[in-house]
Amino acid sequence: MNPPSDVPSTDLSTALNTVQWNQDGLVAAIAQDATSNKILMMAWMNRDALTASIEQGEAVYWSRSKQRLWHKGESSGHTQKIISIRLDCDADTVLLFVEQHGGIACHTGRESCMFREFDAQSTSWIEIDSPLKDPADIYG
C-alpha cells in the first residue's frame, strides 16, 4: 500500500480532503478480492473509517445502522487485509483491493454479498451462490 519511491508523499489530511464525501459525510466503499477480482461487498466509510483503514491496513467501515465504526471481521473473524486503495474519477467511490480472511465477506455466510442475480425471464432475483458457512456458526 506504500506509494512508489518516486512519488512524493502527501499529508493524509490533504488526501482525505480529495474525497467527495456525501451530505452525511460518507463515501461508498467497494471491497474487491485482490486475487480473484470478485466484488465482495459495498459499505460506507466516513473520514474516521478511511483513516483507520489506512493506518491499520485492514478495512474499517461506518455502520449506518449502529452509528459507529465497524472493523470488518470484529465479530466473525473474517477481516479484510487491504492490498491497495483506489479512488474513482469523481472521487466519490473508494475501491479496496483486499485479502479476505476466512473466505467469507457476507454476514449470510457467503463469499460475496453480491449473491443475487436478476433474471429477466422471471423478473425476479435468483440466488446464485450458496452460503459457505451457516451464519449461526459464525455469529453464535
How, if at all, do strands 27-33 and 93-100 pair?
A: parallel
Considering the entire predicted model, what is its pTM?
0.88
Residue 52 forms part of a structural domain:
yes
Q: For residue 61, what is its C-alpha cell?
A: 467501515
Distance CA 131, CA 129 (A): 7
Residue from 47, 57, 69 nearest 97 by CA: 57
Residue 65 forms part of a structural domain:
yes
Report pLDDT digits (tens) over 42-90.
999 999 999 999 999 999 999 999 999 999 999 999 999 999 999 999 9
CATH of the domain at 53: 3.10.20.810
List the domain range (segments joined by +) for residue 97: 24-139
Distance CA 68, CA 82 (A): 20
Residue from 98, 35, 38 nearest 72 by CA: 98
Structural domains counted in the chain: 1
Q: Are 73 and 61 in contact (CB under 8 A)?
A: no
